[in-house]
Structure 1
Amino acid sequence: MPAVARLALLLGISLFTPHALAGAPVSETGELQGAPWRIDVPDNWNGELVMLAHGFEPVGTPRPSAWPANEATPALLGAGYAVAQSGYRTQGWAVADAVVDTERLRQHFTARHPDTKRTWILGFSMGGAVAIASLERHPGHYTGGVSLCGANLPGDALAGELLTTLVAFDYFFPKAEGLPVDGLASPAAAGLPQMQLYQGIATALQAQPEKRQRLATRLEVTPDELAGVISLHALVFHDMAKRHGGMLVGNQDTVYAGFGDDAAFNAGVKRYPADPAAHAKAAEELALSGALKRPLVIQFNQRDPTIVPHMQGVYPQLASRAGAMPPPVVLPPAGEGHCGFSDDQTVAALKALAGKADAAPAR
């Protein structure tokens, strides 16, 4: 298996290869203000539209000339839904761009199909955050949304999780061979090729199995998953910093727990200040309030190393504090790994959302 494919498998990142569609739906592709898009309408269209938000696409990932169908597309078409999906105008942690690009494509579709009965938004991984942000910002345009295996955290909360991972690795494995002497959160780490970063992390972890186990336990992953998780966190952290012009969050006042000797950890871990301008920009662009006005269904996979259990409860708690009406529905975990849903499970989550919407009082 090529190195890039092996790393993608470890990190749960799609390589965005085209997916063949059965049943010959009417398909269109194009571009709107720099964002490639795809629309598929089945012969048996039920009059309802699914806006499909894809996950994290690393910067530099080659894109095909026509935007490919997400793997879930054939199942949704088979269930009678039209599917519209945007490729986003930028790659990386492009949540803010994705919300705008998805909304622009929705308008494009409904202008051509003014008889559309209902519109849903469904997102995977980073696309889960796109779906939730779209519901919060454009409630009048959607009947409801589904977040599957979603990174359902406000931007500052996510950046804080990533920074914790990086400084913890640097504490337990200082000056690891092949990695920047200033650590994984330093600007020097942002310039390393991703496979080199992964190999350096993996080598350091293998050399000290006791520390590897301690860090894996704290991050809620297995030791075998740890190198992939850390390298993914570094990739996203530095992408967010570059996109927003500096570190979104700092850890100067953070009191860490769960790392064994927490007093020693807090005394020895490297501290970073947040960049005020970057923090303010992210707070505006990547905010999630929890103040839902439309039904939302959330579902995760079993044993997901990317969206671990303590991350999964963040948005439901946020929605509870905000008095979301209706509150989000969290379905029992299904499938394995990160975004390991079957076609039937994906469609079932959407059907559960439709049932929730049908039962809701008219607004």
Structure 2
Amino acid sequence: MPAVARLALLIGLLVSSPLALARGPLTETGELQGAPWRIDVPDDWNGELVMLAHGFEPAGTPRATAWPANEATPALLGAGYAVAQSGYSRQGWAVAEGVADTERLREHFITRHPDTRRTWILGYSMGGAVAIASLEQHGGHYAGGVSLCGANLPGEALAGELLTTLVAFDYFFPDAQGLPAGGLASTATGDLPQMQVYQGVAAALQTKPDVAQRLASRLEVSTDDLAGAISLHALVFHDMAKRSGGMPIGNRQTTYRGFGDDDAFNAGVKRYTADPAAQASFSGQPVLTGALHRPLVIQFNHRDPTITPRMQAIYPRLAAQAGATPAPTVLPAAGAGHCGFSDAETLAALKTLADQVAATPAP
């Protein structure tokens, strides 16, 4: 065979072989069962993969043709990791889809890169719940996981927190201008543009500063963040209701505390009954039991108006009740706001996880 032909054959074999695909730098994008995805492999790949789970994406948000890189991607690539990230096959509160689509992409990556040494999962915000649910359901495929600013609580618990916000606002501001007569918890709110909801909430709060302060204290946010937190809670709650086909949770049996005159509040707050079919459809979105068998690192931000201290405490408590081995490691808060982590803080959390794995016998 002539030398040129032999060279062409060698190049062809290298390009088509899984080993060659494991060499970087490499960026690939595509779609798997309706979920856009992206894979990046650095030139100096350390043989380890980070599955990166993104947060809540409002339904109807325009998407780029190729799934874009998360802001943390360059730092992870610079540290030597390959990064694979799914855009999920559904927008909105899509934890179930996020888990399935992330697992599908992980399998795709390993098929193309069989020499991968270890796989980690790292998620932000709603992606934190995707990361933890993936560890609980597919833990055998991961060395461990990191949840940053994560919504680390079962779907029913989160929906209950959101509904509390909405009915409390409706109790204190029953005639808010620019909002539906039925209040924020009514289905009509789910059809409004998000900016209109925010503006209506913000204007109402300004009419009763003392009540706004009381509400902010109970919801564990600052008064400056209150309008944004309430309108976000409305957005997510009504997304949950739409995807489940009705009211996913009720508050008939809920006794509220911390709103001032609690007797008057409980007597006057509007009550809702969960739609049975919607409740069954929504139940366990996500299913989080606390039954972990892989190391997990959790970290939140200072003054997070989205995932408040009350929400942050739920998963560690579940893990303790389930006897998780090892128990999750909750790092001290870093940064500020919601998902306000620097690249260095993200890498430090991942390093903490890797150090724990190195010191822990494999199950």
Q: What is the TM-score with the length of structure 2 in the denominator?
A: 0.92
Give distance in 2, aligned partners of 1:56 and 1:166: 19
Match of 2:5 in 1: none
Give distance in 2, aligned partners of 1:335 and 1:250: 35
- Give runs of aligned pairs for residues 111-190 of structure 1, distance below 5 A: 111-190=111-190
Give distance in 1, aligned partners of 2:275 and 2:361: 45
Identity, % of aligned positions: 75
Q: CA deviation at 1:100?
A: 0.5
Match of 2:362 in 1: 362
Give distance in 2, aligned partners of 1:275 and 1:133: 25
Q: CA deviation at 1:279?
A: 1.8
Match of 1:243 in 2: 243
Match of 2:207 in 1: 207
Q: CA deviation at 1:283?
A: 2.1
Match of 2:234 in 1: 234
Q: Which runs of 5+ in 1 are unaligned?
A: 1-23
Match of 1:95 in 2: 95
Report the 3-state secondary structure (helix = DSSP H, G, I; strand = E; otherwise coil) of the residue aligned with 1:38: strand
Per-residue CA shift, 1:152-211, capped at 9, x if unaligned? 010000000000000000000002111111111111111111111111111000111011
Per-residue CA shift, 1:325-347, capped at 9, x if unaligned? 11100001011111000001000
Q: What letter is aligned with 2:302? A: Q
Match of 2:259 in 1: 259
Match of 1:46 in 2: 46
Preserved contact between residue 295 and residue 326 of structure 1 (Cα < 8 Å): yes
Q: CA deviation at 1:280?
A: 2.1
Give distance in 2, aligned partners of 1:314 and 1:275: 25
Give distance in 2, aligned partners of 1:283 and 1:321: 20
Give distance in 2, aligned partners of 1:309 and 1:285: 21
Q: What letter is aligned with 2:177? A: E
Preserved contact between residue 142 and residue 294 of structure 1 (Cα < 8 Å): yes
Q: CA deviation at 1:358?
A: 1.2
Report the 3-state secondary structure (helix = DSSP H, G, I; strand = E; otherwise coil) of the residue aligned with 1:212: helix
Match of 2:334 in 1: 334
Give distance in 2, aligned partners of 1:118 and 1:201: 47
Q: What letter is aligned with 2:74? A: P
Count the aligned residue pairs. Answer: 340
Report the 3-state secondary structure (helix = DSSP H, G, I; strand = E; otherwise coil) of the residue aligned with 1:100: helix
Q: What letter is aligned with 1:317? A: R
Q: What letter is aligned with 1:171? A: Y
Structural RMSD (CA): 0.9
Q: What is the TM-score with the length of structure 1 in the denominator?
A: 0.92
Q: What letter is aligned with 2:173? A: F
Give distance in 2, aligned partners of 1:124 and 1:267: 38
Preserved contact between residue 302 and residue 336 of structure 2 (Cα < 8 Å): yes
Match of 1:11 in 2: none
Give distance in 2, aligned partners of 1:247 and 1:161: 14
Give distance in 1, aligned partners of 2:285 and 2:241: 13
Q: CA deviation at 1:249?
A: 1.1
Question: Higher Cα Rg: structure 1 or 2?
Answer: 2
